Structure 1
Amino acid sequence: MADITDIKSIVYTEKTLGLQENGVVVIQTSPRVSKNSLKEMLKEYFGITPLKVNSLRTHAKVKRFRGRAGVRDALKKFYVTLPEGVSLDKQEA
């Protein structure tokens, strides 16, 4: 079962900032997170029920740097569509 520590970051790039204007947030997680577990995490931690969740898997990739082999991490990106007027700011109770 995935938990909140599996969320790596929220992606802030030029493309994702354009998506955020339309209510879509891009979240990077570890590969073991599923759509359903991400929905549960968002509901439990942020109190938000997303309208739609799309996922994109990035496989680990071997790259060379100065003749030495290294491995990029495997990640999953989720495109989460939030209800209108909702953000991912942690609400204090």
Structure 2
Amino acid sequence: MDKYRIIKRPIVSEKTTKLAEERKYTFEVDKRANKIQIKEAVETIFGVKVEKVNVINGKAKPKRVGQYSGLTAAVTKAIVTLAEGNSIDIYEV
């Protein structure tokens, strides 16, 4: 799998901004990617040393608009912890 297709986008919210102070960055990733592939992709793209990767598999939830019902997209998130002295400027990317 191509390293540039594994990482879809950074997730920026109030909670993830607070985590970034602890060298933990959150990304939306491809559902088929495993922790090793995510680690290699982040290290290659951003040029940093990754210490740990945690993956969260979000489920699709039912939604309804008027008479139409469907599901939201299932999202896989990765929380990447960087080694001491490394950081990513997610607003620049």
Which interval holds the TM-score relative to the shorter structure?
0.7 to 0.9
Amino acid at match of 1:86: N
Tell me, which stretches of 5 or more residues in structure 1 are unaligned? Answer: none
Q: Tell me the TM-score normalised to structure 1 length.
A: 0.81
**Displacement, 1:85?**
2.8
Cα distance, 1:89 vs structure 2: 4.4
- Percent identity reads 34
Cα deviation code 1:31-84 (max 9, x no counterpart): 111111011111222222211111100122331112212321121111111122
Q: TM-score, normalised by structure 2?
A: 0.81
Q: What root-mean-square deviation, in Å, do the aligned CA atoms of Structure 1 and Structure 2 show? A: 1.9
Q: CA deviation at 1:23?
A: 0.6
Can you give the 5+ residue segments of structure 2 that lack an aligned partner in the other structure?
none
Give distance in 2, aligned partners of 1:34 and 1:2.
Answer: 13
The 3-state SS of whatever aligns with 2:50 is: coil
Between the two proteins, the alignment pairs up a number of residues equal to 90
For 2:57 and 2:2, how far apart are their aligned partners in 1?
A: 16
Q: Using the alignment, how far apart are the partners of 1:34 and 1:59 within structure 2?
A: 17
